[in-house]
Amino acid sequence: MRLIEPLGLLDGPEAEACVAAGLAFRLGNTGLAFTLARLIDWNHGIDRVERAADLAPPWRERLEELVKPLTAWAGMPLSRPAVMGIVNVTPDSFSDGGEHLRAEDAVAAGEAMAKAGADILDIGGESTRPGSAPVPVEEEQARILPVIRSLTGLGLPISVDTRNAATMAAALDSGAAIINDVSALQHDPDALATVAKRDCYLVLMHMRGTPSDMAAHAHYRDVAVEVTLELAERVAAAERAGIDRARIAVDPGIGFAKNSVQNLMLLRRLPLLMNLGCTILVGLSRKRFLAGYSGGAGPKQRGPASLAGALFALARGARVLRVHDVAETVQAVRTWHGLTRPALIP
């Protein structure tokens, strides 16, 4: 697969001016523009940088695909970033395990996130932190289905964080609109067909191995290129099963089969994922690699680092942020959006 990595990123009025002058190209509808293109085709030994305006076929065709705007995902316009609030109905999640294990506590947390400005609520009943063990689907469903049924009345899209086809089907029957699968529909052989049959949206996350052994798979020649190519394979598999690409978001899987350096490289080169023609979702909230920037702080003390990482991801093309701290993230995103889109200043 040929990939173009957008380089020389511009934002705000500078981006608009350079696009108008023919010196830069828009990066979808992210508000970003780029002037340079790194051309990558491992099958033919190509890895070079050119001015984006000078690209010739077949790279010109790839460029045209890269700049196509995505209009909406899960019923939300992608002209602005969206915030997905995390509700873990688990006893052992890395950051907040046990806090929302009771259904009433999980519902209250979801309601608070909605009031704080969340665009989506992501409900999960199985921890996938490094080293975690699987949860029986009956137990997973018992944890999350009452929560989903209660939160659908808020009018927000409800996402279910699960690897299990039976739980996907039950969650959709209970009112969920999005399937968020850390295995990119590879864990359960029935998952592809289950999602393809339903009128729902999908998040395909990159991970190698399983939560219990993924650290052993963190070996890459080029993490950003390989994650993009491996997600491209999962998008193609979903399309073959009958899932429309416009319904798919891709998540690079920060912290899943990646070490701290690989996480950073992946975030810095996030625009590579724009080659897939899918909405980009990033979840780095409170993750372990942020501890190095926050004096070794524990998960709940990594809020400022999480906000910095979230805004960094937005500046590289992410459109959905999956977070624990909704109120703080909503305020930061609105401020960032106003600063980079002056017409939106209140």
Tell me whether residue 287 is one of the annotated catalytic residues: yes
What is the Rg, in whole angstroms, of the alpha carbon atoms belonging to the chain? 19
> Is residue 78 within 8 Å of 29, Cβ to Cβ?
yes
List the one residue out of 227, 216, 178 whose CA is nearest residue 198.
Answer: 178
Tokens of residue 55, six digits: 């690209």
Using the structure block, give the residue that is written with the tokens 């798919």: 248
Distances (CA, A) of 122 to 27, 85, 162, 264, 324: 27, 6, 10, 24, 10
Contacts of 287 (CB under 8 A, 6+ apart): 254, 255, 263, 302, 306
Catalytic residue of the set 208, 258, 286, 287: 287
Among candidate residues 163, 286, 302, 322, the one labeled active-site is: 322
The answer to whether the beta carbons of residues 299 and 70 sit under 8 Å apart is no
Local structure of 222: helix, strand or coil? coil
269 is a catalytic site residue: no
CA dihedral 253, 255, 260, 262 (to 10 degrees): -30
Active-site residue list: 287, 322
